[in-house]
Chain A
Amino acid sequence: MEETLPISAQSAARRWLSAWWPYLLVLAFLVLFPLLAGVTIGDPTVAQEGTGSLGNLMLRAESGAAKFWQGMIIQILIFAIFAMSYDLLLGYSGILSFGHAMFFGTGGYAIAILIGRNFDWPFGLALAAVIVIALVQSLVFGVLSLRVKGVYLAMVTLAFAEMFYILAEAGDFRVYTGADDGLHGFPVPAYLSATDHRTRFYYLTLVFFVAVFLIIKRLVDSPTGKVMVASRENENRATMIGFNTFWYKLTAFVAAGVFAALAGALSALYKVSVTPSMLSLGRTIDALAMTIIGGLGTLVGPVLGATIIQLLGYWLERWFGPSWTLIYGIIFMLIVIFLPYGIVGTLRVRSFRLKEGWKQLQQTLAGK
């Protein structure tokens, strides 16, 4: 007979901490980053009399290199949201979609058009509309494309995304989409402008990122998420146990679509411009690359992948000029060949082996 131990509140908190401390550490860094950057790389000449030391710090955070690196992290976080949503599809549900950019781009276009001069909706309403549009869009195309599997699905989603790309580029809807120029300078609310209030936008993005991370983590840890993984591993078996895998895959598809649209909307608000390239295969490849480089089927992987690819892109472009995509493609292929489980996946496999080896060593030392 086993004795049930009463779990005290203290040990529960300790267990929670021991599971979450790496996340908390990263979160603490991200929360403090604007202040740290303001102190270290901000422009000290912007300090004004009578604003107090904290006010001066905020001013410094809004200037020079500090502002630039906050922008970099904003972009990383936006792409991390996008890549996490893609990982929900490919990594957790085993759905290989090549049309994920259509949600990203539609999210961007929707917010740009709705707050633009044609509709002039209030910002909150427009953001809600983006989510509704993404829900409907991902439901329709999810139902259509989930009729097929595997590589078929890849090609079907690719074609659907291409349709959106072509429609965004078409001259027929120039009034709304700006055709191949895209939309620029639409009226983003002044309190959200990334040029004037970079730090504020930074925290907004961070809040969205943390929320999406927690929601996806909750989703994949829930029974629904377990069925998604089961249908990825062996769909026939999951069906045989009695799960209608279609609904679970559709859930993943819709959730991924909504989060991708959110990322697209944030990207549009940050850059104050949307172009047809947001809907192109290139964006989907970005998400795919981030997910695969970081590690499929992990949530930390896509975030790490987004960080690596954004920074790599930035440095490669600085070093090699316009031909950087060639080197990027080659590095991408090398990572796929040599780290087949991605960085996080490979690390996990390694540490697993290390633990096993450690156990074996202990057993040998104990003379068993």
Chain B
Amino acid sequence: MTSIWKNNRAALIIVALTVVILGGIIQTMEPKVWVSIMLSGATLASLYFLVASGLSLIFGLMDVLNFAHGVLFVLGAYVGLSTFLNPRLLFNTLPIFFVLIASIMMSQHLGRAFWSRITDTRTRRIATVVLLAAAVGLVLLALRGFPMRALNAFNITAVGGLVTTANAQDPLALMLRRLLLLALGGVPLGLLLSPAERPEEVSLRPVWQTALIAGTSALIGILLLVWRDSGEVWMLALSPDVRFILALIMGTVAGALGGVAIETGLIRPFYGNPVTQLVLTLGLSIAGIDLIEAMWGEEANPPMPTPSLFNESCRSDSIIGWFSEHCQSVDVVGRAFPTYRLFIILVGVLVFIGVGLMLRRTRLGMIIRAGVQDSEMVQALGINVRRVFTMVFALGSALAAMGGVIAAPYLGVFPAMGSIFQLQAFIAVVIGGMGSFIGAAVGTVILGMARAFGDHFVAAGIDLPFLDTVIKGSPAIARASTVLIMAIVLLVKPSGIFGKKE
């Protein structure tokens, strides 16, 4: 008993203090007020958690502070929105990725033969530059004049309805020509991605397996393109619930792929050089947001429609009633609360339990926990830590992107949403302790509650007994207050509530 107290003294003190402060605040309010405030706080906390948990895991395992995490959040939101409202965009862009991935996979097999022929360092360097130029040139040539803007113009006009204009998309023959060029461009990319050092030691799948996977991928891509018109009609006729689930899947997968791309392209070559990694992700966060703005436009989109499960304009008396009525709000202790926000809370809790169980109960989770402690030792025990790094990066990115999709109906979709959530996630992770999964959860809950109560008090005003007037402020003060909490935690325990001592 004493050891628990000793080990987690600061954590217990802070949690107890939070409970006392919350209790004190709640004392002065009616139940219906504080319950709805706490639910709003939980909604925010859930979204913060989806971003912060990935950040914390990535930092804990590989000491990388990913400044591009907010970009992945925005990417998820935009991909989700496009899937929900504008499937035409998907049918035109997905084949590009399928074909590119198939080509890269196949050329990995060429990589071994290619790099083992070139032994001279100087020639290797020249070959790298030539390959890079060829890959960039071919991909740019393939995508020249791709009508991205026109394809996106339907986002707002096509709410729920069918897209009628056919001119926006390229004709089929042109698209196939683009795909052919992309397949060619994937070859130098694949050669670049296969390791140049000691190529004979790289273990690859048998050629027929790769060919099968790559062939299926390319086939799916081409079929999507061929059936794009009927597919679009079919998708828009689906119920909004199904489309929402599709959006969730697409957004999450896009985030995971983005994470893999960032890890392999920008992070992996620079392990052991954290400042370079950090500056690179920072550069990516500038370029990434600009890229998203170039593709989807700079203006804010209206919130994505909520799925029909949460969209009937009525008010259920209880959660039980909502199961049959699908109302958009539900009665919580005498006040209406949107059911979609309850769904956000549910997703956050489910992710917390799911990832927590994964970390506690599975072999991968064991490796991750061991890697957080000492990744060199794990490597020495014969486990391919680099592959685990990639998987954790993909997982963290996927969680952030999922957060983006879920936040889309609640907050709307705009390019700046990522940096806001990223900053709050940073603060939450610092409060909770970097690398600690539980810490990320506790930190986000504290932040969410602070924001919700702060917003409430700023709107209602604080009536201090020794002052005549009620102090009122703008929401900005509530936003700044989270930094104050972080400063206090840092003064008490610099490594965060659940952080280890250095």
Contacts and interface: CB of A to CB of B under 8 A. Distances in A.
Say if A and B assemble together. yes
Contacts of B90: none
B266 interface: yes
B494 A148 contact: yes
B125 to A, nearest CB: 11
A270 B286 CA distance: 27
Contact of B474 (A152, A158, A171, A336): A171
Contacts of B491: 144, 147
Contact of A155 (B65, B419, B482): B65
Given A156-B430, A156-B490, A292-B279, A325 B476 contact: no
Nearest to B487: A144
A197 B489 CA distance: 50
A326 B282 CA distance: 13
Given A333-B284, A337-B280, A159 B476 contact: no
A152 B494 contact: yes
Contacts of B274: 150-151
Nearest to B502: A149
The interface centre, meaning the residue of B275, B430, B477 with most chain A CB atoms within 10 A of its CB, is: B275
A288 B276 CA distance: 11
Nearest to B478: A166
Interface string A265-307: 0000000000000000100010011001000000000000000
Given A144-B490, A172-B474, A326-B291, A159 B282 contact: no
B314 interface: no
A240 B430 CA distance: 28
Interface stretch (B172-180, B238-246, B421-429): B421-429
Nearest to A329: B287
A323 B293 CA distance: 9
A325 B415 CA distance: 14
Nearest to A168: B476
Nearest to B269: A337
Interface string B277-318: 011101110111011011000000000000000000000000
Contact of B494 (A147, A166, A169, A288): A147
Contacts of A336: 276, 279-280, 283
B282 A166 contact: no
Contacts of A337: 269, 280
A332 B283 contact: yes
**Chain A interface mostly:** helix
A210 B229 CA distance: 66
Contacts of A150: 274
B409 interface: no
Contacts of B278: 96, 151, 154
Contacts of B291: 326
B371 to A, nearest CB: 17
A330 B266 CA distance: 12
B434 interface: yes
B438 to A, nearest CB: 18
B294 A288 contact: no
A72 interface: no
A328 B483 CA distance: 31
Interface in A125-180: 144-145, 147-152, 154-156, 158-160, 162-163, 166-167, 169-172
Interface string B254-288: 00000000000010010001111011101110111
B476 A167 contact: yes
Nearest to B419: A281
B479 interface: yes
B294 A326 contact: yes
B225 to A, nearest CB: 27
B497 interface: no
B480 interface: yes
A296 to B, nearest CB: 8
The interface centre, meaning the residue of A149, A159, A285, A330 with most chain B CB atoms within 10 A of its CB, is: A159
B430 A159 contact: yes
Contacts of B423: 158-159, 162
A160 B430 CA distance: 13
B59 interface: yes
A187 interface: no
A159 B486 contact: yes
B416 to A, nearest CB: 11
Contacts of B65: 151, 154-155
Contact of B477 (A144, A170, A330, A333): A170
Interface residues of B, number: 45
A214 to B, nearest CB: 28
Contacts of B461: none
The interface centre, meaning the residue of A147, A151, A172, A288 with most chain B CB atoms within 10 A of its CB, is: A151
B280 A160 contact: no
A340 interface: yes
B286 A285 contact: yes
A13 to B, nearest CB: 41
Given A159-B427, A292-B279, A337-B280, A166 B479 contact: yes
B199 interface: no
Contacts of A144: 487, 490-491
Contacts of A149: 502
B211 to A, nearest CB: 33
B412 interface: no
B160 interface: no
Interface in A319-345: 323, 325-326, 328-330, 332-333, 336-337, 340
A336 to B, nearest CB: 5
A6 B490 CA distance: 58
Given A172-B473, A288-B279, A333-B266, A159 B286 contact: no
B287 A333 contact: yes
A148 B282 contact: no
A326 B290 contact: yes
Interface string B82-118: 0000000000000000000000000000000000000
Interface in B464-482: 473-474, 476-477, 479-480, 482
Contact of A340 (B276, B286, B482): B276
Contacts of A292: 279
B476 A172 contact: yes
Given A170-B474, A172-B473, A155 B483 contact: no
Interface in B34-85: 59, 63, 65
Contacts of B477: 170, 172
Contacts of A169: 476
A156 B434 CA distance: 12
Nearest to A160: B483
Nearest to B425: A155
B498 to A, nearest CB: 14
A56 B423 CA distance: 54
Given A166-B480, A333-B280, A337-B280, A152 B430 contact: yes
Contacts of B502: 149
A329 B287 CA distance: 5
A152 B434 contact: yes
A289 B63 CA distance: 22
Interface string B211-250: 0000000000000000000000000000000000000000
20 contacts: A144-B487, A150-B274, A152-B430, A152-B494, A155-B427, A158-B423, A159-B482, A160-B483, A166-B476, A170-B474, A170-B477, A172-B474, A172-B477, A288-B282, A326-B294, A329-B283, A329-B287, A332-B283, A332-B286, A340-B276
Given A151-B59, A162-B483, A285-B282, 13 more contacts: A144-B487, A148-B490, A149-B502, A152-B430, A152-B495, A155-B430, A169-B476, A292-B279, A323-B293, A325-B290, A329-B288, A336-B276, A337-B280
Q: Lowest 3 CB-CB distances: which A-B pairs, in order?
A: A329-B287, A170-B476, A326-B290
